[in-house]
Structure 1
Amino acid sequence: MVQHKLFVRFKPDVTELQIDHVCQSLAELAHSLSSIPAFRYGTNISPENLNKGLNHYFLLTFKDETERNRYLIHPGHKALQEVFDPMIDDIMVFDVMV
């Protein structure tokens, strides 16, 4: 399995309503695709202050790298990126085999 992890800092002018909309849109896309058996998102709650300003987290789990790669070029993912990318101040993507 592949875990596709995104750590995000949204731009300061992005509202909570906009963030909620993006989170819900990504959740809907993830749940509509059989290639994503698990999806989670949330905000940082660590008291260690080691998040480097990245305070939102998204985790998409795929069966394998092939399924992850298909998702990356999926029209729904591409459409969501067009909305999501202008809102992002910084992002780190980290994929791991589990």
Structure 2
Amino acid sequence: MIRHIVLVRFQPTVSAAAIDDLFTELHRIEGKVPGLLSISSGRSESPERIERGYLHGFVADFADWSALEAYQVHPDHRRFGARLVAHAEGGLDGILVFDLPVQTQGSLT
């Protein structure tokens, strides 16, 4: 399984409603990309408070690398990604992406 982790530092002028709308759009892709297992999104609630401005994010789990690749080229993802970049502080500089292969029980992914 591949865990796709995206952290976002939104521009200070982006409202909570606009962020909710973005994440609602993101969740609409569920069921449209084979191998996309789940998406979780929201605001950090970390008691450590070391987010360094990356207060929002999402995690999408994929069955394998080819499922992640299919997601990356999907038109809904491209549209969402463009909106996300437009709302992030500094554009793409306000977004961090980390893809982590995760071993699941009975799998050597």
Sequence identity (%): 29
What secondary structure sits across from 2:57 in the alignment?
Answer: strand
Aligned-pair Cα RMSD in Å: 1.2
Q: Any runs of at least 4 consecutive aligned residues in structure 1 with deviations exceeding 4 A, and if so which? A: none
Structure 2 counterpart of 1:12: 12
Of structures 1 and 2, the one scoring higher in RCO (CA 8 A, sep 6+) is 1
- Kindly name which structure, 1 or 2, has the bigger radius of gyration based on alpha carbons: 2
2:29 equivalent to 1:29 = yes
Per-residue displacement from partner, 1:39-96 (whole Å, max 9, x unpaired)?
A: 1012111121211110112000001011101111111111112222110111110100
TM-score, length-normalised on structure 1? Answer: 0.92
Q: CA deviation at 1:16?
A: 1.1
Q: How many residues align?
A: 98
More helix by share: 1
Structure 1 counterpart of 2:107: none
Q: Which runs of 5+ in 2 are unaligned?
A: 103-109
Per-residue displacement from partner, 1:11-56 (whole Å, max 9, x unpaired)?
A: 0111111111001000111343332111101211112121111011
Q: Which amino acid aligns with 1:96?
A: L
TM-score, length-normalised on structure 2? Answer: 0.83
Task: Tell me the distance in 2 between the aligned counterparts of 1:24 and 1:31.
Answer: 14
Structure 1 counterpart of 2:75: 75
